[in-house]
Chain A
Amino acid sequence: MKKLLLSAALVFATATGAQAAGDVVAPPAEQWAHQGLFGTYDRGALRRGLQVYREACAACHSLRLVAYRNLMEIGFTEAEVKEIAAEKEVRDGPNDEGEMFTRPARPSDKFVSPFPNPQAARASNNGALPPDLSLMVKARVGGADYLYALLTGYKETPPKDVKMAEGMAYNVYFPGHQIAMPPPLSEDGVEYADKTKATVAQMARDVTTFLTWAAEPELEDRKRIGIKAILFLIVLTGMLYAVKRKVWKDIKH
């Protein structure tokens, strides 16, 4: 019996400590505008984040679940969206002659992927497959914090005891620390339209915000409806409790 209680205590004592062990480093918690009960996406960061994605990420990483038209939900005008979409070509068809053809992308198209298939992506990237970013924030433990930490967690010189494999970069937060993606962001790598200084940290924050939106476009609706739903439920439950008290008042139990 005693042994069991002891082991129970041990379980709870080590539960927190064990997480930090191994090759996984927990990302530090960041402050995000979209956090919390009333959080909404930082519109400026979304706009800049799209720019970072298009200029720094899109050459290798697809965003295949997001459509250009979705950008209108975060404040882009229809004209802007049309222009962004039209920069890419998509294969369409067959036409009336039975021929496949290419045409500029339309707002209704999904973000055009940089590679036609995973094999092509690997061939151009040293054998590594750049993952699709549509759900990246939801698909990693730590979410936005992890993504931000990863983008800012590169070290030019790895610790002495680490032997790097050919073509790999050292990253503090990547599981195992050896990542095939070279540092994607560099100081002033993009020139922001709103004149924000394009530091690596700034770009990482912006693109992380943008990718959080890409993964959870419903977040603002969800929280807005959630507040109303829960307030309604609290009032309803309070009234139900009052009714219950009234109905039961003559019952001795």
Chain B
Amino acid sequence: MATPTFQNPIVKWIDHRLPVFTFMQHELHEYPTPKNLSYWWNFGSLAGIVLVLMIATGIVLAMHYTPHVNYAFDSVERIMRDVNYGWLIRYMHMNGASAFFIVVFIHIFRGMYYGSYKSPRELLWMLGVVILLCMMATAFMGYVLPWGQMSFWGATVITNLFSAIPIIGDSIVTWLWGGFSVDNPTLNRFFSLHYLMPFVIVGIVVVHILALHQHGSSNPLGIDTKGPQDSIPFHPYYTVKDLFGLGVFLIFYAGFVFFAPNFLGHPDNYIQANPLATPPHIVPEWYFLPFYAILRSFTADALIYLPISWLMSAKLAGVLAMFGSIAVLFVLPWLDFSKVRSAKFRPLYMWFFWLFVIDCFILGLCGAKPAEEPWTWISQAATAYYFAHFLVIIPLLAKFEKTRPVPASINEPVLGGGDSTTGAATKPMEKA
């Protein structure tokens, strides 16, 4: 990429001293992008836009919000009733959190399906997992701020998890709370951190994009771009495609904000927090449900707990499994050492990918249900499958799966690899 020449003298003057325009020219305009990206590749830029939307609405909300146990609930209601368009800003923020997770979950599943995490994009993937973790922490603390019943009891349940850590657990919980229960100091620090974290996320996103631009986007075929015939400049092709995708997303999002703003929330959070009254079912927000199911599936009599029961309490096992369900994503690039990236050329992996997606949905459903039969054993089975997918199925597939031939380049029409004989020749491995 040659240094561009600019006509405008002011642009020229600035660029000579601070090459922002050269940077934009290289990274946003010329940036060569595979020409075969499908709409599944829209969700990365979409996630970035939702992040900006969350920060913008969040800053306005913070101007009107009072982080004090006696005033927090009422200050949110004041935003809803008396602040000009406060209801709109709050509903955008509330549903924006859900939208953010929908977009990011699709983005992650897309990366899994097309093997986007494979060499040379391992760090790009791992940075993404860090962003997911930060998002979860931010969303959790944000949900506490309105100080409703679910805010309070959700915070109590989740912070209590740290008490499972042997010896120092209880001290850590007291330290997190800033006292001996979830109370005003907890609310204050959660507000402070909830304001801080999005900017941390922005920082990691910048590094995420930096890592992306090193080797460029992967693509549905999962093969490297071989030359200029395979790629097109990012602008205008993907800017306009991303904008169209943004439009579709906004219609869907506006549907929730304007016509079903509380559909994804829990009615109990419109009851002010009361430390003396526990709600019948404490459930987290929908995006945490699969993880919540994994946490709860480790009961003292669970089959999945038996092998480690001599080592730790069921509670600790549940906590470790919940964090492990994210941690395992960090090592995914090494668990899946198959050289073929895209599931298009991995007939078996494709099936197991979809089974994994179904498993995540089942876990989500289990998380929403009370901890009783049959949900307990279903979530235990689904938890076992979740980890088996990463730790057993994926490495075995990488070793034994007979992949289909990949095309020589993006520009070439796909080789006649779609006939049934190639798929049938794979080794039997349903047992996995």
Query: How far is B260's CA from A37's CA once the two chains are assembled, in angstroms?
Result: 10
Chain B: minimal CB distance from A112 (Å): 16
Q: Which single residue of chain A is at the shortest CB-CB distance from B236?
A: A247
Q: Interface 1/0s, chain B 368-407, versus A by CB < 8 A?
A: 0100001000100110010000000000000000000000
How many residues does chain A have at the interface if contact means C-beta atoms less than 8 Å apart? 47
Chain A binding surface SS class: helix
Q: Interface 1/0s, chain B 249-289, versus A by CB < 8 A?
A: 01100110111011000011011000000001000000000
Chain B: minimal CB distance from A192 (Å): 28
Which of B77, B237, B430 sits near A247, CB closer than 8 Å? B237
Of the candidate stretches A137-145, A161-169, A178-186, A203-211, the one touching chain B is A137-145
Q: In the complex, are the beta carbons of A233 and B267 less than 8 A apart?
A: no
CB contact list, B218-254 vs A, under 8 A: 232, 236-237, 240-241, 243-244, 247-248, 250-251, 254
Which of A218, A236, A240, A244 sits near B87, CB closer than 8 Å? A218
**Is B328 part of the binding interface, using a Cβ–Cβ cutoff of 8 Å?**
no
Query: How far is B370's CA from A50's CA once the two chains are assembled, in angstroms?
Result: 38
Which residues on the A side are within 8 Å of B81 (C-beta)? 65-66, 70, 217-218
Q: Interface 1/0s, chain A 220-232, versus B by CB < 8 A?
A: 0111011101100
**Is A79 part of the binding interface, using a Cβ–Cβ cutoff of 8 Å?**
no
Q: In the complex, are the beta carbons of B257 and A226 less than 8 A apart?
A: yes
Query: How far is B358's CA from A219's CA once the two chains are assembled, in angstroms?
Result: 36
Query: How far is B250's CA from A15's CA once the two chains are assembled, in angstroms?
Result: 30
Which of B232, B247, B385 sits near A240, CB closer than 8 Å? B247
Which residues on the A side are within 8 Å of B271 (C-beta)? 131, 135, 139
Q: Interface 1/0s, chain A 124-168, versus B by CB < 8 A?
A: 000000010011001111010000000000000000000000000
Q: In the complex, are the beta carbons of A230 and B254 less than 8 A apart?
A: yes
Q: In the complex, are the beta carbons of A139 and B251 less than 8 A apart?
A: no
Which of B240, B359, B366, B381 sits near A244, CB closer than 8 Å? B240
Q: Which single residue of chain B is at the shortest CB-CB distance from A246?
A: B240
Which of A65, A175, A236 sits near B74, CB closer than 8 Å? A65
Q: In the complex, are the beta carbons of B378 and A7 less than 8 A apart?
A: yes
Query: How far is B391's CA from A99's CA once the two chains are assembled, in angstroms?
Result: 73
**Is B159 part of the binding interface, using a Cβ–Cβ cutoff of 8 Å?**
no
Q: In the complex, are the beta carbons of A18 and B369 less than 8 A apart?
A: yes
Known contacts: A4-B381, A135-B77, A226-B254. The answer to whether A10 contacts B244 by CB under 8 A is no
Chain A: minimal CB distance from B66 (Å): 15
Q: Which single residue of chain B is at the shortest CB-CB distance from A118?
A: B274
Which of A8, A222, A237, A241 sits near B88, CB closer than 8 Å? A222
Tell me which of A3, A4, A227, A243 has the highest count of chain B C-beta atoms within 10 A of its own C-beta. A4
Q: In the complex, are the beta carbons of A138 and B362 less than 8 A apart?
A: no
**Is A91 part of the binding interface, using a Cβ–Cβ cutoff of 8 Å?**
no
Known contacts: A222-B87, A248-B241. The answer to whether A10 contacts B374 by CB under 8 A is yes
Q: In the complex, are the beta carbons of B362 and A223 less than 8 A apart?
A: no
**Is A14 part of the binding interface, using a Cβ–Cβ cutoff of 8 Å?**
yes
Which of A8, A14, A131, A237 sits near B251, CB closer than 8 Å? A237
Which residues on the B side are within 8 Å of A193 (C-beta)? none
Q: In the complex, are the beta carbons of B258 and A8 less than 8 A apart?
A: no
Query: How far is B262's CA from A140's CA once the two chains are assembled, in angstroms?
Result: 12
**Is A234 part of the binding interface, using a Cβ–Cβ cutoff of 8 Å?**
yes
Query: How far is B254's CA from A222's CA once the two chains are assembled, in angstroms?
Result: 11
**Is A1 part of the binding interface, using a Cβ–Cβ cutoff of 8 Å?**
yes
Chain A: minimal CB distance from B145 (Å): 17
Query: How far is B247's CA from A66's CA once the two chains are assembled, in angstroms?
Result: 37
Which residues on the B side are within 8 Å of A253 (C-beta)? 35-36
Q: Which single residue of chain A is at the shortest CB-CB distance from B243?
A: A240
Which residues on the A side are within 8 Å of B247 (C-beta)? 233, 236-237, 240-241
**Is A251 part of the binding interface, using a Cβ–Cβ cutoff of 8 Å?**
yes
Chain B: minimal CB distance from A139 (Å): 4
**Is B355 part of the binding interface, using a Cβ–Cβ cutoff of 8 Å?**
yes
Q: In the complex, are the beta carbons of B244 and A241 less than 8 A apart?
A: yes
Which residues on the A side are within 8 Å of B77 (C-beta)? 65, 134-135
**Is A100 part of the binding interface, using a Cβ–Cβ cutoff of 8 Å?**
no
Known contacts: A65-B81, A237-B248, A240-B244. The answer to whether A223 contacts B365 by CB under 8 A is no
Q: In the complex, are the beta carbons of A243 and B240 less than 8 A apart?
A: yes
Q: In the complex, are the beta carbons of A139 and B362 less than 8 A apart?
A: no
Query: How far is B236's CA from A218's CA once the two chains are assembled, in angstroms?
Result: 40
Q: Which single residue of chain A is at the shortest CB-CB distance from B359?
A: A4
Which residues on the A side are within 8 Å of B369 (C-beta)? 18
A–B complex contacts, Cβ < 8 Å, 15 sampled:
A3-B381, A7-B382, A18-B369, A135-B77, A138-B270, A139-B270, A175-B280, A222-B261, A225-B258, A229-B258, A230-B255, A230-B258, A240-B244, A240-B247, A244-B241
Given A11-B362, A240-B243, 19 other A-B residues pairs in contact with their CB atoms under 8 A = A3-B381, A4-B355, A4-B381, A4-B385, A10-B374, A65-B77, A134-B77, A138-B267, A222-B88, A222-B258, A225-B258, A226-B259, A227-B258, A236-B247, A237-B248, A240-B240, A241-B244, A244-B240, A248-B237
Closest 3 CB pairs of A and B: A226-B258, A237-B247, A139-B270
